[in-house]
């Protein structure tokens, strides 16, 4: 049986319900087009990043930085969602660099020696774009006094709110979702700055998928955007459209890392 996993923006709860509803539409459309072995519900047992290289993968949403670092050539790029949240520009998006609401920091330079929180080391929004913003300010490969790994953007927001960290970079889609559906969680932080933008989280399928299958996946994604009955679902997801990008369009994410390395700042530190 094939596998479908759309776990990247599945919380707070209204998003999980809307994501499941979107997949039901896509699944039904794929079955109607006579695609074989289309999964019913989304897979919630396989860890989100394990789904990316699953041999039966039909559709999953990856992170852009792991895509350019590890997945290109092993999976096929299907589409990139276009979201309506602040910080998004077509299929591109930034991260918001957040601090505590009472922080005295007024610029990134003011955060020298601060404690940073990251979600995961290979995250584009939480690390790669963050590093790109900080690299010009680093001295001898360091800028922060320490870096803690939280395991997720919402955990990083909580760490800054609780005073366990002074700063974090939060994917603007995640921030927009939390502000909309769990506003209390961001009541203790404020946005200090925005990072540079780069292409957002790509939808992918397995590397040996045929051109016909990729074309069909794109077709049903377009159908979903045009489907009037899905309007409330798309509104919850803040999903406006799907863009069809190339591998070359994702190359700037790799260049952000190379530029930081040239500046002597290969890792957040």
Q: Report the distance separating Cα 175 and Cα 187, nearest Å.
A: 12
What pLDDT sits at residue 260?
98
Residue with tokens 């506003």: 183
pLDDT tens digits, 177-202? 999 999 999 999 999 999 999 999 99
Q: Report the distance separating Cα 199 and Cα 129, nearest Å.
A: 11
pLDDT tens digits, 8-67? 999 888 999 999 999 999 999 999 999 999 999 999 899 999 999 999 999 999 999 999
CATH 3.40.190.10 for domain 95-196: yes
In the chain, CATH 3.40.190.10 sits at 3-83+200-250, 95-196
Share of the chain above pLDDT 70, in %: 100
What pLDDT sits at residue 157?
98
Pick the CATH number of 3-83+200-250 from 3.10.150.10, 3.40.50.10900, 3.40.190.10, 1.10.10.10: 3.40.190.10
Share of the chain above pLDDT 90, in %: 97
What pLDDT sits at residue 161?
98
The pLDDT of residue 1 is above 80: no
- pTM of the predicted model as reported, rounded to 2 decimal places: 0.96
What pLDDT sits at residue 12?
87
What pLDDT sits at residue 239?
98
pLDDT tens digits, 248-260? 999 999 999 999 9
The pLDDT of residue 229 is above 90: yes
* Two tokens, residue 173: 């889609």
What pLDDT sits at residue 11?
86
Please say whether the dihedral angle defined by the alpha carbons of residues 98, 123, 83 and 43, taken in this order, is positive or negative: negative
**What b/e sequence results for 228-260 when a residue is b if at least 16 CB atoms lie within 10 Å of its CB, and e otherwise?**
eebeebbebbbbbbbbebeeebbebbbebbeeb
Span 104-124, average pLDDT: 97
What pLDDT sits at residue 267?
97
Q: What is the mean pLDDT of the chain?
A: 97
The pLDDT of residue 147 is above 80: yes
């Amino acid at each position: 049986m094939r596998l479908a996993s759309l776990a990247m923006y599945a919380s707070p709860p209204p998003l999980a319900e809307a994501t499941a509803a979107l997949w039901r539409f896509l699944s039904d459309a794929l079955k109607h087009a006579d695609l074989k072995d289309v999964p019913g519900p989304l897979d919630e047992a396989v860890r989100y990043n394990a789904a990316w290289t699953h041999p039966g993968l039909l559709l999953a949403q990856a992170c852009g930085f792991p895509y350019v670092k590890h997945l290109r050539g092993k999976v096929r790029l299907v589409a990139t969602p276009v979201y309506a949240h602040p910080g998004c520009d077509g299929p591109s998006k930034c991260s918001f660099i957040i601090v505590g609401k009472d922080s005295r920091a007024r610029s990134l330079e003011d955060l020298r020696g601060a404690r940073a929180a990251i979600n995961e080391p290979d995250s584009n929004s939480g690390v790669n774009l963050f590093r790109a913003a900080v690299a010009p300010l680093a001295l001898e490969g360091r800028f922060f006094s320490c870096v803690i790994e939280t395991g997720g953007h919402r955990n990083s927001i909580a760490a800054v709110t609780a005073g366990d960290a002074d700063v974090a970079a939060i994917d603007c889609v995640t921030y927009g979702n939390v502000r909309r559906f769990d506003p209390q969680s961001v009541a203790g932080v404020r946005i200090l700055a925005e990072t540079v933008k780069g292409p957002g989280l790509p939808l992918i399928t397995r590397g040996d998928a045929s051109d016909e299958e990729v074309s069909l996946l794109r077709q049903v994604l377009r159908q979903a955007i045009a489907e009037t009955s899905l309007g409330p679902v798309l509104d919850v997801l803040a999903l406006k459209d799907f863009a069809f990008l190339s591998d070359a369009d994702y190359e700037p994410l790799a260049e952000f890392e190379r530029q930081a390395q040239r500046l002597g700042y290969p890792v957040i530190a």
